[in-house]
Chains A and B, each alone.
Chain A
Amino acid sequence: MGPYHAIMVHFPVALWTVASGIICFRALSDGPLARAFDRVLVSLLLLGVATGLVSYTLGLLVWPPDTLQTTPLGRNHMIAASWSLCSWAAVLFLRWRVGEHVWEGITNRLIMVGLGALGASQLAATGTLGGHLHGAPAYLSELMRVFGWDVYQTFYLPTWVLAVLAVVIVAMPALAIVTTRGRAARLRGPGAGR
């Protein structure tokens, strides 16, 4: 499945790279061209996630699971691919769910740009690691090393950090829910509408 995986990954790479550009452009501009690009963002992201899913599935079939998960490069490629797919699916969800309000105010725009940058960097890491696995290492891996990730070392987190992440994972939506409910209660309250 290796060759098919290599062919297929071109689609999400291209779509998500264009999406990154659109996100940056739209974050900087409210002009008609930026708005026009933004109108196709959901479609682009949807196509990207769909082709990304196919690529991901084909990638899982290149080697038996045990083989892929025994090599640090394989593990890193898999973790980066999973996170890329997840990040871009998250951007898709946010843009679809919130609509054009994602461009409202500087904070929202920065969050969109941040998510786009996260997805793009994970995509670059995934591609670099795929190149390594394919026998074509790129100098980008040296750059990743400068940023603290040696591609020959499996990316995993110590137990205490996993515990911290678990708390953060629960705390963020809890905070959001409490805040939105509080706001809804305030709006429904006796003084609401005055």
Chain B
Amino acid sequence: MLRRRTAILVVTELFMAALLLSLVTHSSGVVHNDAARNIWIPPELTMPVQLQVAYNDERIFFRYRWPAKQPHVLTDLLRYSDGKWQRQLRTPVGSDPDGIYEDRLAMMVDDGSVPEFQRYGGYITVGADMRDFTGSGADAAHRRKYLPASRSDPGDWYSIVDARTLDAQRRAGYFLDLWHWRAHLSNPLGRSDDQHIAWYRLYDSGEPLSVGNWDADSGQPRWMFDPARDGVRALRWEDVAAGHGDVRGPYYLSAATAVPFDAAHEWREGDVIPGQVLREPSGSRDEIRVQGQGRWAGGQWDVTLVRALDTGHPLEDKVLRDQGVYSIALSVHRDARASRWHYVSLPLQLGLGRQAELMATRFTGDTPDWDRVDPLELTLFYPGQVSWKHLSSARHAGSKYIAKGVPVKYRHKERQLAQYGVEIEFDREIRRHWALSLVAGVLLVASFVFSVSLLFRHRGD
């Protein structure tokens, strides 16, 4: 039988061990990847991007640099497998295990016509039950970004207002310009794709940057590499899988160099041909160029995009002017991730010669001297499954601040939003564990104090 003093020590040690164990193991054991629920949590919840902006009388230059362990420059592949050609197009949940998804950088731009964007950035474009959200259903593939006022109920994707109202909104500038640089589908052409977000994520007018290479009728590619020029007709799966895409060899098909597919060739298991053929775009789709080359070296992408301040397409591109202040927000896809598995920035104010969070440097001549342009270090974060519907609802404690127009930056930091983005994906499980932990903590203290109260000598002893 334990003596009283020994029992006190044992009880105290048990109590302290339980406290220590709780402190060491807390906030673990619930968050995990679950492909069936479209949940995949990136190992790093935030990432840095360095941004420099300069402009002259006619054009504006954005230089982006961001870390990436390796470049991912392939996407949408056609593969000869099991004796036939098959399309490998897929949207992976998280990082593609074969590393087949291109790196991307996108930037939304507004001139103040979308006032919520200035305060809440890309969050306003995320409706409820979006594509790749948990439980969004098999029919959600088309549910992509839109602006809240394009719906009679901003939380209902299908409540699109009438065409006349949408036209009026567009004329009033109620859209976001979307610059979309893609390591495979635009960079080899020295271009960035040009899109905009209004009632939907729309492409600017003009010819696109690529055409499909898959002939569904014959079940084979339409084009292939030119063996005389490229040395190969196709790539090899083992060379491109697991992110082994090599930008030094042929990795994309272009309309200028591809040759018609040779069905009579003796194709081998594992032959791979890109599923898209790049071609020169036109019209409003052809406004954003890559200055020099978008390059990956030493674990970092270095991409500079350039566009006319006024492209002449005011219904699809935001017109930028000297002394103007604009809002931008960036996103980056890396590590072979697609869809919502990206990093995003909070909205950033950009001043062209005017004081703002980032002041673009005015220069004379054709190209800026980047050594004279101050860089801004941005932190991008994994946003999780946070919709505008949720943020505007009573469930979000900050909804009353949103109603008052308080900017997101006033209340939140990137690290915090990343953490919230993860937790909302496991809201039910975390709440259950949190409630049990609360009760367990109360009972632990009560149990300890009750125990020592029995073991301590009492007034009557």
Collect the chain A residues with CB atoms within 8 Å of residue B2's CB.
Answer: 175, 178-179, 182
Is A176 interfacial (CB-CB < 8 Å)? yes
* CB-CB under 8 A for A153 and B423, given A107-B5, A161-B21: yes
Collect the chain A residues with CB atoms within 8 Å of residue B461's CB.
Answer: 101
Collect the chain A residues with CB atoms within 8 Å of residue B456's CB.
Answer: 94, 98, 101-102, 104, 108
Of the candidate stretches B69-77, B219-227, B392-400, the one touching chain A is: B392-400
Collect the chain B residues with CB atoms within 8 Å of residue A170's CB.
Answer: 447
* CB-CB under 8 A for A168 and B455, given A72-B423, A154-B423: no
Is A4 interfacial (CB-CB < 8 Å)? no
A93 to B445, CA, bound (A): 11
Contact check, B7 vs A158: say whether CB atoms are below 8 A apart.
no
In chain B, residues 438-461, which have Cβ atoms closer than 8 Å to a Cβ of chain A? 438, 440-459, 461
Is B202 interfacial (CB-CB < 8 Å)? no
Contact check, B447 vs A70: say whether CB atoms are below 8 A apart.
no
Contact check, A93 vs B27: say whether CB atoms are below 8 A apart.
no
Contact check, B447 vs A72: say whether CB atoms are below 8 A apart.
no
Contact check, A79 vs B449: say whether CB atoms are below 8 A apart.
no
Closest residue of chain A to B453 (Cβ to Cβ) is A97
Closest residue of chain B to A96 (Cβ to Cβ) is B453
Collect the chain A residues with CB atoms within 8 Å of residue B29's CB.
Answer: 157-161
A133 to B411, CA, bound (A): 9
Collect the chain B residues with CB atoms within 8 Å of residue A73's CB.
Answer: 397
Collect the chain B residues with CB atoms within 8 Å of residue A74's CB.
Answer: 397
Chain B 281-306 interface 0/1 with A at a Cβ cutoff of 8 Å (1 = within): 00000000000000000000000000
Collect the chain B residues with CB atoms within 8 Å of residue A72's CB.
Answer: 419-420, 423
Is B12 interfacial (CB-CB < 8 Å)? yes
Contact check, B449 vs A115: say whether CB atoms are below 8 A apart.
yes
Closest residue of chain A to B15 (Cβ to Cβ) is A172
* Chain B at the A interface: SS class: helix
Is B434 interfacial (CB-CB < 8 Å)? yes
Is A183 interfacial (CB-CB < 8 Å)? yes
Of the candidate stretches A8-16, A20-28, A42-50, A80-88, the one touching chain B is: A80-88
- Chain A proximity of B388: nearest CB distance (Å): 16
Is B410 interfacial (CB-CB < 8 Å)? yes
Contact check, A155 vs B27: say whether CB atoms are below 8 A apart.
yes
* CB-CB under 8 A for A152 and B454, given A83-B442, A99-B459, A159-B433: no
A71 to B396, CA, bound (A): 7
Contact check, A175 vs B7: say whether CB atoms are below 8 A apart.
yes
Chain B 15-37 interface 0/1 with A at a Cβ cutoff of 8 Å (1 = within): 11111011111111110000000
Contact size range, B: 35 or more
* CB-CB under 8 A for A86 and B442, given A169-B447, A175-B10: yes
* Chain A at the B interface: SS class: helix
Contact check, B440 vs A101: say whether CB atoms are below 8 A apart.
no
In chain B, residues 191-229, which have Cβ atoms closer than 8 Å to a Cβ of chain A? none
Collect the chain A residues with CB atoms within 8 Å of residue B438's CB.
Answer: 78-79, 82-83
In chain A, residues 58-80, which have Cβ atoms closer than 8 Å to a Cβ of chain B? 63-64, 66-75, 78-79
Contact check, B440 vs A169: say whether CB atoms are below 8 A apart.
yes
A150 to B7, CA, bound (A): 35
Is A135 interfacial (CB-CB < 8 Å)? yes
In chain B, residues 404-425, which have Cβ atoms closer than 8 Å to a Cβ of chain A? 410-411, 415-416, 419-420, 423
A170 to B454, CA, bound (A): 14
Closest residue of chain B to A97 (Cβ to Cβ) is B453
Is B172 interfacial (CB-CB < 8 Å)? no
Collect the chain B residues with CB atoms within 8 Å of residue A99's CB.
Answer: 458-459
Collect the chain A residues with CB atoms within 8 Å of residue B434's CB.
Answer: 69, 75, 79, 154-156
- Chain A proximity of B339: nearest CB distance (Å): 25
* CB-CB under 8 A for A156 and B26, given A98-B453, A135-B411: yes
Q: Which of B21, B22, B24, B445 has the most CB of A within 10 A?
A: B445
Is B14 interfacial (CB-CB < 8 Å)? yes
Excluding A155-B27, A158-B25, A179-B4, 7 further A-B contacts by CB distance (< 8 Å) are: A68-B397, A71-B397, A111-B8, A158-B30, A172-B11, A172-B15, A179-B1
Residues of A within 8 A of B (CB): 63-64, 66-75, 78-79, 82-83, 86-87, 90-91, 93-94, 97-102, 104, 107-108, 111, 114-115, 118, 133, 135, 147-150, 152-162, 164-166, 168-173, 175-180, 182-183, 186
Residues of B within 8 A of A (CB): 1-5, 7-12, 14-19, 21-30, 394-397, 410-411, 415-416, 419-420, 423, 427, 430-431, 433-434, 436-438, 440-459, 461
**10 closest Cβ contacts across the A-B interface?**
A158-B29, A90-B449, A156-B433, A176-B451, A179-B7, A182-B1, A176-B454, A172-B451, A156-B434, A99-B459
